[in-house]
Amino acid sequence: MLNKETYIKIVEKAVKRDITNRTAFLREFRIFKSAQQNKLEQLLAHAKLITVSRGSVMYRVGDKPDGVYLIKEGSFEVTKPTNINLLNSERLEKMNIDPIAKI
């Protein structure tokens, strides 16, 4: 059984360890390398740590950004939807090819 003081010390230690780990992660990015510790901690106070499932869409063309995403683990893919027929027509025009002759 733990008394209240011991419990609070354990929780404080865990929180400090988490903050240290999260600020270390931020320092891996060039933009945060020289930031003061207290500034990084203030930034973390507004940050959310999220886990995203494979195949999730974080942002679509035309969406208003809702923040900045820093990838701690895994990978991501940036794609842009295109209309293949329109794209092919534009290429044919640039190459000065008669559209009837595109067969």
Q: What would the mean pLDDT of 35-47 be, rounded to a whole number?
A: 92
d(CA 23, CA 33): 10
Q: What would the mean pLDDT of 11-22 be, rounded to a whole number?
A: 94
Q: Where are the domains of the chain?
A: 4-102
- pLDDT, residue 65, reads 83
Positive or negative torsion for Cα 36, 38, 39, 41: positive
Q: pLDDT for 43-101, tens place per residue?
A: 999 888 888 888 888 888 888 888 888 888 888 888 877 666 655 666 666 766 665 65
